Each structure stands twice: as C-alpha cells, then as structure tokens.
Amino acid sequence: MYDNLWCPYCSKYKCETLCHEIISKYLGQPSKMRQPEFLKTPEFLAGLKLDIFYTEYGFAVEVQREQHEKYVEFFHKGDPKSFIKQQAWDQFKKNCVKKLDCLKIRLVLRRPLYSYSRTPLRIGSH
C-alpha cells in the first residue's frame, strides 16, 4: 500500500478526475472556487468542497462511488465513524444546495473504474 492506495501510480481521485475531464470538454473549466461560503461550518471553517462547481451555470457535480453509500473498510481506513461523517457531509451539502435553489447533480459510479476506459461512459444523475 502506498499513501493509502493500492497502486503507487494511481490517483486517489481518479473517478473525479475522469468526470472533470469529460464535463470540462463540454462546458469549459469549472470554477476554481470549490469551497463556497454556504458550505462553511464550525467544523470546516474553510468550507466543504464541491467536486466540480460551475458558479456561472449555478450547478455542482458530486462524484460518488460506493464509499458514499456503504461502509468500505479501505476508503474509511477501518473506522466506521468515518463513513457516518461522510454521510453527514453529503447530506449537509445536499441541504445547502437545495436551500440555494442550485442544481446539484450527483454522479454515482457503480462499475469498476477500469471498465470506464473500455466501454462508452454513461453519465446519470440523481
């Protein structure tokens, strides 16, 4: 294991990077500001991050894999409390975006990442 990754050559945020590249191809680069004021909390004074945020279009994209839906020992570093925090952060982001009437697209990627490079990518929203 290298830097909490199975492979020393793979990025921790490989799915997010892939989605960023695809979306940027069609919409241009997203906002550099990924920690908007409305996501600041006493626990996160700098603010929680949005994965891909287009302020000019009024929407954000959150890339979510299985670790957002269920406890995965590897991603949560063996701490079930980490999963509970992840769910709370996701819900907080969802509530904040809803209050602002900002469109939030949540991409849920269910196949292994390697399959995305071999087959056409289908992007769905929830």
Q: pLDDT by residue for the chain (126 residues), tens digit each? A: 444 544 544 556 777 888 889 889 999 999 888 888 888 888 888 888 888 888 888 778 887 766 777 776 767 777 788 778 888 888 888 787 777 766 555 555 555 444 444 444 444 444
C-alpha neighbours within 13 Å on the C-beta side of residue 59: 11
Read off φ and ψ for residue 59, nearest 5 degrees: -145, 160
Helix (H) or strand (E) holding 36: none
Cα gap 47→97, rounded to integer Å: 13
Token pair 């980490």 is found at 82
State pTM to two decimals: 0.64
Residue 118: the pLDDT is 40
Structure tokens at 17: 């990077």
